[in-house]
Amino acid sequence: MIDTVTLLAFIPAALALNLTPGADMMFCLGQGLRSGARPAVAASAGISVGAMVHVTLAGLGLGAAVAAMPWLFDAIRWVGVGYLLYLAWGAVTRGAVPADAPQIPAARAFRAGLMVNLTNPKVILFVLAFIPQFVDPAAGPLLGQFLVFGAILSLGGFVINGAVGIFAGRARRWLTGSPGVTRALGWISGGIFAALALRLAMMERA
């Protein structure tokens, strides 16, 4: 369905995008610092699933609705801002999870990553701008091509963001030797979530 030359051009482009620090990577970093490596990897998985939802919507043509209706874009965006601020407040008030405490459930971290990605309408606009450059209408169904390219992009993001989360989780284990440090890590991760909320709040549709 997709020729080899196109795939070989897409993969390094997708990898370069995955390696570029962004909101998803910073979210996994904050999750790793606060909760540990396993929840951070689960959050990365949630982000990747959310990305595939955006890809599917873009492939079905529904992404044009987000681009054309400012109120829908803003409604989704402000839900995301509110959710990130909720996570920031929880991190600041409760601090990082002590290294010897039970980690938060992976399912909860997965839902957090999924929610953060789904409530970022810029993702679907990015998908609409990036993937069509590699889509060939003569090569077969457009949705199928969107899904293939989206899977490559999401898999790369899962691996790289997950690796960042694992690194942060291990650093947290080395640092959480005292209540003061645990509290400081909570403030750091809360600051990351709050900064992401501010970034989303200031986002423009263009």
d(CA 159, CA 73): 29
Q: How confident is the model at residue 114 (pLDDT cuts 50, 70, 90)?
A: very high
Residue carrying the six token digits 């993969």: 11
pLDDT tens, residue by residue, 137-157: 777 788 889 999 999 999 999
Q: What percent of the chain has pLDDT over 70?
A: 87
* Per-residue model confidence as pLDDT tens digits over 7-17: 889 999 999 88
- Give the other-Cβ count within 10 Å of 109's Cβ: 26
Amino acid at 120: N
Provide long-range contacts, Cβ within 8 A and 24+ apart, for 196-204. 196/23, 196/26, 196/27, 196/30, 196/84, 196/116, 197/80, 197/81, 197/84, 197/85, 197/88, 199/23, 200/23, 200/77, 200/80, 200/81, 200/84, 200/120, 200/122, 201/77, 201/78, 201/81, 203/77, 203/122
Contacts of 202 (CB under 8 A, 6+ apart): none
- pLDDT on residue 11: 93
Residue 112: phi, psi to the nearest 5? -65, -45
Q: What's the rounded Cα separation, in Å, for the pair 120 and 93?
A: 25
- Distance between CA atoms of residues 165 and 167, nearest Å: 5
> How much helix, strand and coil, in percent to the nearest 5, is found in the chain?
80, 0, 20
Kindly report, residue by residue over 184-198, the tens digit of the pLDDT: 777 887 888 888 888
Burial class of residue 61 (count of CB atoms within 10 Å of its CB; 0-12, 13-18, 19+):
exposed
64-113 confidence digits (pLDDT tens) = 776 677 777 788 788 888 888 888 888 787 766 665 555 678 899 999 99
More confident residue, 34 or 175: 34
Q: pLDDT grade, residue 160 (50/70/90)?
A: very high
pTM of the model: 0.81
Give the pLDDT score at 185: 73
What average pLDDT score do residues 160-170 get? Answer: 93
